[in-house]
Amino acid sequence: MNKVFSTYTFIASIAACIICLCSCSWQKASVKEGIFDVYAPAPFTGAAFSMDQKSSAMRASVQIRSYGKETWQLKDVQNDDIHEDGVKLQGGDANIAYRFKRFPITGSFDYFSKNDLSMWGAGIGLDPYPFIRGTIGANSRYIEVGVTAYVNVSLNHSSVKLNWVSHEYEGMMYGYEDYHGSIENEQQEFKLHGGFGGFINFFPIKEIAISYAPFFYRPWWDDEVRDYEISFRFPYIISQYFGASVLIAKHVQLSAGATVYVGESFKGRYWFFDSGIGFVF
């Protein structure tokens, strides 16, 4: 019994040492210049029609958007100074721009379920990479309100110029070593994106909706570039959709509106046209 206990104690000690050593190794960077891909999700307005009580609906839809592919220069983005484990890396201004992309066609499939008043839904789609979303809210004869969350993965391109530093464990004989250098190149890497928002629809008649849908999201969730933890947070983006839709013959849903994009680090506001067609069944 004592031998077994000693063996487990030894293994646990080794594991703890490994975890401790790994946790003391890191790579960080200060970005001097960078242009980063940003994929804007299509607007989402819930079901956008008055559903019957204790009913469900599915919708396959295509959203058609004015194509957007332009570079937005950001302002007041700062790298923090890095002081850790005796290693220092100077911060300063970060000359950052978003390469904003809105693809002309987005495809999605959504399911909605309504009880007496409450409603929930889930959806999947391509924009142009796969995404998932979920929603909860309330749907009545004259109004629909709800909140939604969205997650997607995409292959993002970036052009960066950065200074980096790493603190790495070299073994029992050498201990820790610090390295530093500069990088200036272009690359592609898979990134996770997402955000949350809401929607409100007014139904002057049962089949027509007047919609407003704000959405908050921050690109490049992990705040990493080339596996280096960077010393600033990517600025958030807020989109606001204003539009209307009509449900024809209980099955064909047409929508049109405009979306404005803003953010605290943006130098202006950006407007785009959005439209869509869906089949409800």
Rounded to two decimals, the pTM is: 0.85
What are the structural domain ranges in the chain?
2-280
At 46 the pLDDT is 98
At 223 the pLDDT is 82
Whole-angstrom Cα Rg for the chain:
24
At 179 the pLDDT is 84
Helix (H, G, I), strand (E, B) or coil at 111: strand
Estimate to the nearest angstrom the gap between the alpha carbon of 121 and the chain centroid: 19
At 2 the pLDDT is 52
E-only strand ranges, the chain: 26-39, 55-65, 68-73, 78-79, 82-84, 87-89, 92-93, 95-102, 105-114, 118-126, 130-139, 143-169, 176-202, 208-217, 224-225, 228-230, 237-248, 252-262, 270-280
At 19 the pLDDT is 45
Those residues with Cβ within 8 angstroms of residue 228's Cβ, 6 or more apart along the chain or in another chain: 27, 28, 29, 162, 164
At 67 the pLDDT is 82
At 175 the pLDDT is 65
At 232 the pLDDT is 85
At 4 the pLDDT is 46
Map 49-87 to HEC letters. Answer: CCCCCCEEEEEEEEEEECCEEEEEEECCCEECCEEECCE
At 91 the pLDDT is 83
Average pLDDT per consecutive 10 residues, the chain (281 residues; last block may be shorter): 49 48 73 92 96 97 89 91 79 91 94 97 96 98 97 93 84 70 90 93 95 93 85 91 97 97 88 96 95
At 170 the pLDDT is 67
Rounded to whole angstroms, the Cα distance separating 129 from 259 reads 21
At 11 the pLDDT is 52
